[in-house]
Chains A and B, each alone.
Chain A
Amino acid sequence: MKRRSLIAGAATLPLVAVVRDRTARAATPLKIGLLEDVSGDLAIFGIPKLHGSQLAVDEINAGGGIMGRPIQLMHLDPQGDNARYQEFARRLLQREKVDVLIGGITSASREAIRPIVDRADAFYIYTNQYEGGVCDANMVSVGAVPEQQIATLVPYMVEKFGKRVYTVAADYNFGHLSAEWGRSVLKPLGAEVVGEEFIPLGVSQFAQTIQNIQKARPDWLYMLNVGAAQNSFFEQAAAAKLNLPMGSPIKIMLGFEHKLFPPPALANMYATANWFEELDTPEADAFKKRWHAKFPTETYINDMGYNAYVAVYMYKMLAERAKSTKKEELRKVIATGNAGIDAPEGHITIDPKSQHTSHRMRLLRVDEHHAVHVVKDFGVIEPYWLGQVGCDLTKSDPKEQYTPDHLPKKG
């Protein structure tokens, strides 16, 4: 039995996984190149992302494909290694000549392949929530960005719990940029960062951090810790009775920590999300049912997997309205300003200036039994920040990543 499941498991991880639909064999397939880490440290995120893409491709192929063409999903596993990301992106774009490239988990992997996408003048969809700021006409982002997550979460936390904030962040670009975002939202509210601690990736022991927090006496914690090792913070903080409310743009809907740790380690965690599995609208329920029917052992449908699913439908909408897979034609559809789909979260649209996606944002709270409650519905929030600071892809294409400290030059 064990040997059988081992072989079956190994068979799901070939270098190139090809999914074809037999009913639409006549038309030439439309190729989607997919880069997701399904082995190595990031497998916990890459596996649901692969599942999301597979589910969308299966559904679309069962319904006749895109413009009558079946989708051929070509997945490669970069194993969390940015050099492999680059190698595989080149292979998919140059040798396989895929129509669109999708995927990437960390911001580092995205930045590793973006120059390759730009040089090939290809169409690329990044499917994660991230620190925001990429202004590149070759890229569409379908994940949430700080103006949707942090600019909603932080004011709520300040109003509800108070103005003294302690930041615990991972020591790399995502952690630093998100901490910077937090400071820029906190300042006009008159709130104060009473402590800020950056933790090296891979650190799993937090006794000292917990004591530093107790000494600083914050009203709430702004949690930007990343990765499985750093997530051990929650168990250790609960064991030391830290008992502070926490707010985070990445916990629960992304890492489903409330499913991995026994309660009450994640009690009083607040997060803003466009998707979380506990969302119970009729559209969300139907989507969850289809997902679990195809992948019955999935622990949790996280926002990354959901975004990967939505990305394929977003591409289908663009290609069908453009009647083409050419980047210029797809971008003409985006330029209309109403390039959107009815996703399980609600109707979402690509913003022409930044090529990022609007999202229906909800604020959720985890209780002491790890049940998730929606405490506020912000409605649909546009990805407005890039447009505000001067990125307008309908006029120019700087191919840059901007941050609050690195803004486009005026004029």
Chain B
Amino acid sequence: MSGDLFSYVYQFADVFAFLVLSAAGLAIIFGMMGIINMAHGEFIMCGVYVTSATYHMGLPLVLAQACGTAAAGLVGVVLEYLVIRPLYARPLDSLLVTLGVSLIATQGTLVILGSTFPGIGTPLGSFDVGVYTFSTYRMVLFAAAIGVLGFVYVLFMRTGFGVQARATMQNAAMARALGVPTSRIYALSFGIGAALAGLCGALYAPTMNLIPTMGAGFIVEAFVTVVVGGASVLLGTAPAAAVLAIIRSGLNAWYGQVIGQIGLLIAVILIVRVLPSGFSGWLARRSAS
């Protein structure tokens, strides 16, 4: 019985971690900066590939994961400078441009590195509760998801950079007039978003099959979580991921994965219909009134 109870908690934690980690980078790039980033999955793929490559070159897994995160962040900063910069007021154009980047990245990876890439075994073994055995590493993923939420909160709410970043996103001209180096803030924010996507890839690399199009497997969950969360990353992502994780893990457990996925998408349609500005908009309005 305790096994079954723990199983529900574990399944919730597992789906929650997947939603938070998939969405964190996109929450900054799309939620805060307004870039509809269709290449989000490819930042994740970049994190996966660099992690696996450096791991197979002999780095310990944690360092390899740090390399994957940093590499995605660097690619993000360069990309922001080269193609994203003119697109801040043009969300639909950003969709087209990042879709192009995504196609180039997947096909380029296929051409240069081939259709497959060597995987990494899942570390840390397993533990038993009741009749069930669980992978320990997936608890690490849950802890990492909490850590990412904490990091994003502290970075944007408790640091000077965070104040400048929020000011830039709300009113770039005013921020610039007050002496905020807005282009650097944009580049850094985009880089942090890309690095968080890379971190997601780095963390999931040991649990997945590695192919150039693997980023596509994250992108639906990422967009869904960000849209349900609403404009404010700091307020929205955590409750959105929690609610969606309860719905999905519950339906998965009782009716299987097909219903779980359908249920997740229906829930999103209902939530967006009832709360057009997402959870964060609703929370902000509640605290204002």
Contacts and interface: CB of A to CB of B under 8 A. Distances in A.
Interface residues of B, number: 47
B115 A47 contact: yes
A374 interface: no
Contacts of A184: none
Nearest to B135: A239
A211 B7 contact: yes
Contacts of A211: 7, 10-11, 132, 253
A197 interface: yes
Interface of B: 7, 10-11, 14-15, 18, 107-108, 110-112, 114-116, 118-122, 125-126, 131-135, 137-138, 206-214, 216-217, 249, 252-253, 256-258, 260-261
Contacts of B213: 40-41, 228
A106 interface: no
* Residue among B115, B133, B134 with max Cβ neighbours from chain A (10 Å): B115
Contacts of A200: 257-258, 261
Contacts of B15: 205
Complex A-B, nearest 6 residue pairs according to Cβ-Cβ distance, in ascending order: A239-B122, A239-B135, A44-B115, A9-B111, A262-B121, A208-B252
Given A214-B133, A238-B122, A209 B257 contact: yes
B209 A261 contact: yes
A204 interface: yes
Contacts of A259: 116
Given A204-B217, A205-B18, A241-B126, A39 B107 contact: yes
B261 A203 contact: yes
B111 A6 contact: yes
B136 to A, nearest CB: 8
9 contacts: A44-B115, A198-B257, A202-B216, A211-B7, A215-B132, A232-B207, A236-B207, A241-B135, A261-B209
Interface in A260-289: 260-263, 265
A240 B208 contact: no
A266 to B, nearest CB: 11
A299 interface: yes
Interface in A1-36: 2, 5-6, 9-10, 13
A242 B133 contact: yes
Interface in A40-68: 40-41, 43-44, 47
Contacts of A94: none
A212 B14 CA distance: 15
A197 B256 CA distance: 7
A341 B121 CA distance: 42
Given A211-B7, A263-B121, 7 more contacts: A44-B115, A199-B258, A204-B209, A204-B217, A235-B122, A257-B209, A260-B119
Contacts of A204: 208-209, 214, 217
A215 B131 contact: yes
A208 B253 contact: yes
Nearest to B257: A199
Contacts, number: 128
A214 B131 contact: yes
Contacts of A209: 257
B126 A239 contact: yes
A207 interface: yes
Contact of B112 (A6, A39, A207, A241): A6
A138 interface: no
A238 B119 CA distance: 14
Contacts of B122: 235-236, 238-239
Contacts of B257: 197-200, 203, 208-209
A214 B121 CA distance: 21
A178 interface: no
Interface of A: 2, 5-6, 9-10, 13, 39-41, 43-44, 47, 171, 197-200, 202-205, 207-209, 211-212, 214-215, 228-229, 231-232, 235-236, 238-242, 257, 259-263, 265, 297, 299
B229 to A, nearest CB: 20
A221 to B, nearest CB: 15
B121 A43 contact: no
Nearest to A197: B256
Contacts of B214: 204, 228-229
Contacts of B114: 47, 297, 299
Contacts of B110: 39, 43
Contacts of A263: 121
B237 to A, nearest CB: 18
Contact of A260 (B7, B118, B216): B118
A219 to B, nearest CB: 16
Contact of A43 (B14, B115, B252, B261): B115
A13 B107 CA distance: 11
A260 to B, nearest CB: 5
A207 B10 contact: yes
Contacts of A44: 115-116, 211
A7 to B, nearest CB: 10
Nearest to A242: B133
A146 to B, nearest CB: 23
A47 B212 CA distance: 14
A208 B119 contact: no
Contacts of B121: 235, 238, 261-263, 265
Nearest to B128: A241
Nearest to B261: A200
Contacts of B217: 202-204, 229
A61 to B, nearest CB: 27
Contact of A262 (B120, B138, B216, B252): B120
A13 B111 contact: yes
A241 B119 CA distance: 18
A41 B210 CA distance: 12
Contacts of B108: 6
B209 A232 contact: yes
Contacts of A40: 213
A265 B119 CA distance: 11
Contacts of A41: 211, 213
Contacts of B112: 2, 5-6, 9
B220 to A, nearest CB: 8
Nearest to B11: A208
A240 B134 contact: yes
Contact of B209 (A2, A5, A43, A231): A231
